Structure 1
């Protein structure tokens, strides 16, 4: 009997260790946002992670319906000039700090103040003049202007609620890499460019997650993500390249999920740099590109052509607005009229690790060459491209611009990309465009907004600000042990109810 005791003790310890380790869901994404502060970024990669750490006042369900989040209800007051939110009680941040009206006010004072001004999120919420605490679980948002998309935005990025005491004690820099929210998973560790490890927050107000641990791996190279998925070292892989779609579909241990996304891809022009500062040149380059051929040969059909930077699900989409037809003869004529000599250099910038867009850029270069131009391709590292090259107007004549219009409202794309002075618009300035964008931004009449947004789309088309290429389908690779995962159409992952066998 004595001899059995050490064995029993060993087995008990082993079972205890296994239980402590628990189930782990591992997700691979293509980009590390490098800051987990909600106000620091506008990248879809943040949304794929951040919605598991933080909550907003409002939540959007997978069917794109708005639901109560940290607010149980909201009411419009004072002729829609005030939004009153009733807050959820008995909610805690991961550090034990209580969630209340003071946390909401702190979050929005910070977002709308000097700290928020450093990042790209503030412009989304400038309709909010002030947040007033009515009582510990009631806040009023005093609006300086109407914003018909505000509730949807509150379910998004910058409006995620943050802990006042923790931020004040630890500071902004520490918070960037050690996030604390009220979401279903809490922070464990972060290795820049490698991984982020989270653990189930058992006290989550919406119920404990189905897995004990959630690990994100940041794998920029798509082929490596696929290889890791095939090897079983990751459970869910975002951004499966179309070239690997059939490989995933033929693997009986994997499932390919394709979903219509809000992401629209374009080749945007630098309108401050010759020769793309000339409208006729920009129009010529639109005529020079065969979008249908790109979708058929490179995307293998996982996409649809677009005439503006939005897909058919977007509020503001105009089915009567058609893309520039493929007409290389017309392109040559316009280039000649613009005085562009054969052999003129046209620079094309893009993210070097984006395998699909690399092929797209090469195809576009071929089309440009066919009308007598000399294309020059230049690649950048992802974060450098989106945090430095684009916003600081360091691009060549044309550059990759993919926009995930996750609100499915063209305002949230157009205002940030075409209104002068915006973070993502370093060069294009047009008072007529600003007037249209400002006018619809302040309307609550949806019918009038739709008309204006369609006029905005037409103006981007007529001004040839970019070459709208395609509305893409997002491809996700999923291991068979994963249960209850459905690829999100808005790219905002919420993995609380996902489990593994």
Structure 2
């Protein structure tokens, strides 16, 4: 035991020394960004929430990923072939890739990462999306790996980038899980330097990256939950960029001659979740859930609370998501119809329903929107008691799924790419890690989706799935947001399309 501990400490010391090594003179500039939340984990096999990706997308990579326009591209793999039955995927790996400590990337690292992702001791909340469906990872040679699936998975390539990050076998076995979780080592364009929880994360450019060498030397992400404080910091020149600019000040900042305001399309979806599994059964009736969709004046909220930085949703996804184009109009605001449907369903108006939301930091106007929704619910006779939690506490309660303790809650989640199967099984399937819903018909539709390999047939199936969700809504559908950032004038940066977290490997500073 003592030898193992000493070995882990030694490896950690070496990693720390490497992390603080000098970078080339061409990349010595530091960019400081004020972000709204701190990651819940910096271990790539323990991701809990979408906010964690502001760290992982800089430090780790998968076999495939997405470029700055959101297009699927090879990352640690160079090419890919799939068998006729869709169950065997062979990847040719990119030669010359190095981990941040200098170790060479090989097929053994892919196999080890799969094993670690699925290890019960790792407690990977996202293993079910990709790695649990992999029956075996065969090392063909150092630069060829074969993934044998338990069942065909049409969304495999799309989801490799966000749900199957690769770690170094030799380094992790030497350091141990705990040390690696404090000093993670990946292959990404930035390497980890340090973290002060709820204060900052420091990353350094990795000059030996295979294709994405940053043009700055150091990236500092300062955790600043209060949006007004972030705004004051960038106006004062204390930081170079800020994320999650409140919509009500986006237009104001456009008039500041020292700043650029950047608005980016997002896959960030905003809903109000209705707990259909509560013992009292009040939200189990689809008529009740349809009624509450009619109860909210979403267009007015987009104008007055989101200041136009959102697009109303008919289904729980961005319109560009495969299958989301169901040809249905969003539920119109109709409080009389809402009240009539509630009465028809014998809704219990005497109860007060718990409603918990999220404090600012992760999503724009989270507190204001939740309060406005509570107001509209009250107008049709649905009484609520409000509570707000910071992001980490909110996420812990969502994933605890204590169905008989809570009734309604704010929910924001991201479609990580154009394929919906990174989200649907976890968010809406019975027993999913984020699901407070149970619908056997929907379960069957979700289970079938990834086994359909014909693109046209799969598109039709996903449209039917989202139509079923529209007609039997587990949520009050609100909108998809547009992400608002601000930078100082000497910063050049284009956000990555269709994500709700910032990716800074292309950022430049004059």
Q: Same fold, TM exceeding 0.5?
A: yes
Residue 147 of structure 1 corresponds to 153
The answer on whether the counterparts of 1:201 and 1:208 sit within 8 Å (CA) in structure 2 is yes
Mean CA deviation greater in 295-304 or 388-397? 388-397
2:280 corresponds to 1:271? no
Residue 464 of structure 1 corresponds to 473
Deviations 1:63-101 (A, max 9, x none): 222222111111123543211111122222112222111
Residue 14 of structure 2 corresponds to none
2:343 corresponds to 1:333? no
Q: Quick one: structure 1 residues 101 and 17, their matched pair in 2 at CA, closer, same or farther if it must change by over 3 Å?
A: closer
TM superposition shift of 1:212 = 0.8
2:289 corresponds to 1:282? yes
- Helix, strand or coil: the match of 1:457? helix
Deviations 1:183-233 (A, max 9, x none): 111111111111111111122222532111111111222222222121212
5 Å matches for 1:296-335?
296-335=303-342
Residue 74 of structure 1 corresponds to 80
Which of 38, 54, 62 is the equivalent residue of 2:68?
Answer: 62
TM superposition shift of 1:43 = 2.6
In structure 2, C-alpha distance between the alignment counterparts of 1:207 and 1:461, rounded to whole Å: 41
Residue 374 of structure 1 corresponds to 383
2:422 corresponds to 1:416? no
Residue 257 of structure 2 corresponds to 252
Residue 358 of structure 1 corresponds to 367
In structure 1, C-alpha distance between the alignment counterparts of 2:325 and 2:192, rounded to whole Å: 43
- Helix, strand or coil: the match of 1:89? coil
Which of 165, 177, 184 is the equivalent residue of 2:182?
Answer: 177
Mean CA deviation greater in 315-324 or 468-477? 315-324
2:489 corresponds to 1:480? yes
In structure 1, C-alpha distance between the alignment counterparts of 2:320 and 2:135, rounded to whole Å: 30
Q: Any unmatched runs of 5+ in structure 2? A: 1-21
Residue 142 of structure 2 corresponds to 136
Residue 4 of structure 1 corresponds to none
Residue 3 of structure 1 corresponds to none
Q: Quick one: structure 1 residues 147 and 232, their matched pair in 2 at CA, closer, same or farther if it must change by over 3 Å?
A: same
5 Å matches for 1:64-143?
64-77=70-83, 79-143=85-149
**TM-score, L = length of structure 1:** 0.91
Which of 411, 415, 418 is the equivalent residue of 1:405?
Answer: 415
Q: Greater CA radius of gyration, 1 or 2?
A: 1
- Helix, strand or coil: the match of 1:478? strand
- Helix, strand or coil: the match of 1:95? coil
Deviations 1:223-250 (A, max 9, x none): 2222212121222211111011022111
TM superposition shift of 1:290 = 0.9
Q: Quick one: structure 1 residues 344 and 21, their matched pair in 2 at CA, closer, same or farther if it must change by over 3 Å?
A: same
Q: Quick one: structure 1 residues 260 and 494, their matched pair in 2 at CA, closer, same or farther if it must change by over 3 Å?
A: closer
Q: Quick one: structure 1 residues 341 and 83, their matched pair in 2 at CA, closer, same or farther if it must change by over 3 Å?
A: closer
TM superposition shift of 1:337 = 2.4
2:354 corresponds to 1:344? no
2:456 corresponds to 1:451? no
**TM-score, L = length of structure 2:** 0.90
In structure 2, C-alpha distance between the alignment counterparts of 1:115 and 1:485, rounded to whole Å: 39
Deviations 1:147-172 (A, max 9, x none): 1211111122x311111122222222
The answer on whether the counterparts of 2:41 and 2:48 sit within 8 Å (CA) in structure 1 is no
Mean CA deviation greater in 466-475 or 386-395? 386-395
The answer on whether the counterparts of 2:449 and 2:458 sit within 8 Å (CA) in structure 1 is yes
Deviations 1:368-415 (A, max 9, x none): 111122221111121111123443326622111111102122222222
2:172 corresponds to 1:167? yes
2:430 corresponds to 1:431? no
Q: Any unmatched runs of 5+ in structure 1? A: 1-15
Paired residues, number: 484
The answer on whether the counterparts of 1:148 and 1:444 sit within 8 Å (CA) in structure 2 is yes
Q: Quick one: structure 1 residues 409 and 391, their matched pair in 2 at CA, closer, same or farther if it must change by over 3 Å?
A: farther
In structure 1, C-alpha distance between the alignment counterparts of 2:390 and 2:354, rounded to whole Å: 17
Residue 234 of structure 1 corresponds to 239
Residue 406 of structure 2 corresponds to 396
Q: Quick one: structure 1 residues 39 and 100, their matched pair in 2 at CA, closer, same or farther if it must change by over 3 Å?
A: same
State the 4+ residue runs in structure 1 displaced beyond 6 angstroms.
Answer: 16-21
The answer on whether the counterparts of 1:269 and 1:397 sit within 8 Å (CA) in structure 2 is yes
